[in-house]
Amino acid sequence: MLLRRGPHSCNLRNIRSCSDNGKNFKFESNILKSVTAVDIPRVDVSSLIWRNIKNWELKPALTCGETGRSYSYGQLQRSSENFGTNLRVISGLREGEKLGLVLPNIPEFATAFYGAASAGLISTLANPIYTKDELAKQFVDTEVSAVVTTQSLLPKVRSALKSSLGGGCIIVVDGKTDKKQNVYGFQDLAQKKYKGADTPKKPDPEAPVVIPYSSGTTGLPKGVVLTHGNLVAAISIADHPDVIPQKSIGSFQEVTLAAVPLFHIYGLVNILGLSLFRGYYIVTLPNFEPKLFANTFSKHKPSYMCFVPPLMSFVASSPLITRKALSHLTFAANAAAPLSKQLVNQLKAKSGNSKLIVKNGFGMTETSALATITPGSFQKETVGLPGPNTEVKVVDDQGLALPMGQVGELCVRGPQVMKGYLNNEKATTEVISEDDWLATGDIGYIDPEDGHINLVDRKKDLIKVKGFQVSPTELELLLLEIDGVADAAVIGVPNQTSGELPKAFIVKKADSNVTEQDVIKFVEQKVAPFKQLKGGVMFVSEIPKSAAGKTLKTLLADNELK
């Protein structure tokens, strides 16, 4: 049973007052609505990306931070269109069929993705560090028959294709064509159109364009079917100046580092899609290596950055990133994990720029990235308000919308919400209602004073101690206040008497002398008895996290069971 009372109380009269006087939100029939809206074009995503290209055709679009190879906007558009058209010829792929992208963050990711999209193909994105077996499962699930990858990943990709589908066409970014092996060099497809390669028709905006993978609210990873319309909506929403402030391009070009993975929806939409649509200059980093990242950061001096908390923490604290390099940053976004006010203040202080805009947002693969964002620069630890064209409500266990201040499951409705899970109608109907509300699996409440959405925890991560619900996030943020604690995660461990007990996994800072008793005593002074760390404290070298920065609590739980 979800809690029915949150940290705030607000009667109906107060709720109406909030709605009548609020400048940034509307709350009607227990639904939180944005006061801003955008026009969403009915076009395919590639057409949207290239809509304003004449304004910056000769400007740099993408550069590899490791090798320096670079493409202008004009080159990128031409190579993308050639790639998509030629790919259908050499692979035999027809409209609506699947292409696998197993690529790190490199400029050719954009060429492959938008080229495939313009040709009516559907890309499925895979983490390049996946094992052969993990790739094979995704290839089988999505029924790919061609894959784009790199030379170093070729053996693993070929083995995965062979074991899952008996083989298929492979395009190698840094390789050469070998038709006997059914391998094609990427540049051969991107440089000029093959004979007989007719330009395909524009895809239907309602047609699927990409299938990233997500665990959703529960269970194993599932293919998330996103349409051209979903991505067009997501980019259009992010483009609103109240969401991500927009500067005039003119002779000035915003610069961003693509350090967040592009195979993740956050990187695909908020870095690649939005930046290309606006004419930004994107510098890609194939992997996070501190010196390479710092050198690239110092050389290119980004003005726009998308972060996850560990990356922001590195930038804010590492001596490898100088104040001079950081002083060029004017906008920073955070997603994927909670953002603390302490970290924001640390970043601003180091940059020396009191006007640095830092925004915190919430989204899922199922919402094509952004669903909510702080309306101004980050002031308190919330995920802000619904983005343009987006509605949010908080519901109880019966699905009834709750008043402000009451805790329940967060639901989102908007044009960026996925079409559904691939080949999984049961999972789709479990999270998307008949009236198009997506149940996020996140627990939170709406603040009656300013309408901001406060996340309490993930529904599946809540720890139950003798029937009481304990938020791991609350304890994790508390643990990070302890001197000597660099990172922390909390899970529930089985207990015969209590059902579960909270247990903390802690990474110490260098030269820290913090002990288990120090941690336990600190927490005892801050929380009620049922929230205390009676499951114990374990010091570890690192907290396992996904590429998007989320703590992999299942790995911690598996380790605990061992």
Q: 90 lies in a domain?
A: yes
| Whole-number pLDDT of residue 219 | 59
Token pair for residue 104?
């790190």
User: The domain spanning residue 97 has which CATH number?
Assistant: 3.40.50.980
Closest listed residue to residue 295, CA positions, set 322, 313, 330: 322
Q: Residue 468: which CATH number?
A: 3.30.300.30
Does 250 map to a domain?
no
User: CA-to-CA distance for 337 and 309, rounded, in angstroms?
Assistant: 7
* Range of the structural domain that residue 487 is part of: 462-561
Q: Is 493 within the bounds of a domain? A: yes
Q: Give me the amino acid identity at 281.
A: Y
Residue 247 counted as domain residue: no
Q: Return the closest-CA partner of residue 365 out of 265, 504, 219.
A: 265
- Total of domains in the chain: 2
40 vs 235: CA distance, rounded Å: 9
Tokens of 393: 């409500």
Tell me what pLDDT residue 7 has.
Answer: 34
pLDDT at 234: 98
Burial bucket for residue 450 (CB in 10 Å: 0-12, 13-18, 19+): middle
Is residue 143, in this structure, part of any structural domain at all? Answer: yes
The residue assigned the tokens 């008949």 is 434
139/133 Cα distance (integer angstroms):
10
Residue at 87 is within a domain: yes
Give pLDDT, residue 197.
75
DSSP string covering 473-530, please? HHHHHHHTTSTTEEEEEEEEEEETTTEEEEEEEEEEPTT----HHHHHHHHHTTS-GG
Q: What is the pLDDT of residue 252?
A: 87
Name the packing angle between helices 132-142 and 154-165 (round to 10°).
50
Domain boundary among 214, 232, 251: 214
Asked if residue 306 belongs to a domain, the reply is no
Does 441 map to a domain? no
* Residue where one domain finishes, among candidates 199, 214, 229: 214
User: How far from the centroid of its chain's Cα atoms is residue 203's Cα?
Assistant: 25
In the listed set 214, 229, 257, which residue is the last one of a domain according to the structure? 214
Q: List the chain residues with pLDDT less than 50.
A: 1-22, 561
Query: Which pLDDT does position 17 carry in this prediction?
Result: 33
Q: What is the pLDDT of residue 248?
A: 63
pLDDT score at 497: 77
User: Percent of the chain scored above 70 by pLDDT?
Assistant: 93
Predicted model pTM: 0.85
pLDDT digits (tens, 9 = 90+) for 309-331: 889 999 999 999 999 999 999 99
Asked whether 533 and 503 are in contact (CB, 8 A), the reply is yes
